[in-house]
């Protein structure tokens, strides 16, 4: 009987170790503050090509990933950035949103909520994977924001399902970049 229990426990232990290792690997691939931001190119809701390389040295970039357009939390976050845009622009911040949605879906989301910043369609997950924010093997990104300084390095990362945490933490990080 004891032999059977040990045999059944071994596969469960292997699965548990695998899950922990996979989670650690996913977190390890997400860039951290102080590291160079991975360069990306994507298409926004208007069909325009957006390249991080074109913004480095010119703008502070608030790059935020969100799970899915039109969902309550994602709508709250997008509208929150929209409503804070005047202050963000004053601080030389360019907001860019990214989700697995298509460019056409991003256009619908923009039109419906009058969004005033680029939303990149990333249906194949290339940008999400570059930043290590994919939700496991799903075609969905976690809610993660990266503040990228003028030098192209990541200044701050917010990894939280709560949109308010992103607004508050990014504001503090942006304020920290201002000369005192």
pLDDT digits (tens, 9 = 90+) for 56-73: 999 999 999 999 999 999
Percentage of the chain beyond pLDDT 70 is 84
Phi and psi torsions of 152, nearest 5°: 85, 10
**Confidence grade of residue 179 (pLDDT, cut at 50, 70, 90):** confident
Using one digit for the tens of pLDDT, what is the confidence trace for 100-126? 999 999 999 999 999 999 999 999 999
Residue 23 has pLDDT above 70, yes or no: no
pLDDT digits (tens, 9 = 90+) for 158-175: 999 999 999 999 999 999
Confidence grade of residue 180 (pLDDT, cut at 50, 70, 90) = low
Which listed residue (52, 60, 63, 74) is catalytic? 74
Given its phi and psi angles, is residue 160 left (phi above 0), alpha (psi -120 to 50 degrees) or beta?
A: beta
Which H or E run includes 180?
A: none
pLDDT at 93: 97
Q: Is 74 tagged catalytic? A: yes
Q: Nearest 5°: phi and psi at 85?
A: -60, -40
* For the chain, domain boundaries: 1-30, 32-177
Question: Given pLDDT bands bounded at 50, 70 and 90, which one contains residue 97?
Answer: very high
32-177: which CATH number, 3.40.50.300, 3.40.980.10, 3.30.530.20, 3.40.30.10?
Answer: 3.40.30.10
Give strand ranges (E) for the chain: 41-44, 49-51, 60-65, 93-99, 119-121, 144-148, 154-159
């Amino acid at each position: 009987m004891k032999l059977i229990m040990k045999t059944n426990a071994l596969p469960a232990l292997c699965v548990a170790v695998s899950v922990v290792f996979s989670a650690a690997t996913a977190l390890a691939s997400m860039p951290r503050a102080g590291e160079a931001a991975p360069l990306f190119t994507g298409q926004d809701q208007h069909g325009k090509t957006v390249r991080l390389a074109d913004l480095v040295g010119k703008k502070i970039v608030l790059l935020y990933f969100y799970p899915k357009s039109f969902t309550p939390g994602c709508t709250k976050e997008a509208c929150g950035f929209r409503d804070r845009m005047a202050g963000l622009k004053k601080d030389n911040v360019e907001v860019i949103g990214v989700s697995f949605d298509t460019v056409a879906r991003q256009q619908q989301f923009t039109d419906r909520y009058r969004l005033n910043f680029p939303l990149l369609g990333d249906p194949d997950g290339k940008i999400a994977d570059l930043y290590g924010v994919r939700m496991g093997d799903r075609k969905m990104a976690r809610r993660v924001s990266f503040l990228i300084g003028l030098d192209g390095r990541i200044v701050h990362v917010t990894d939280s399902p709560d949109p308010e945490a992103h607004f508050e933490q990014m504001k503090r990080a942006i304020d920290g970049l201002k000369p005192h």
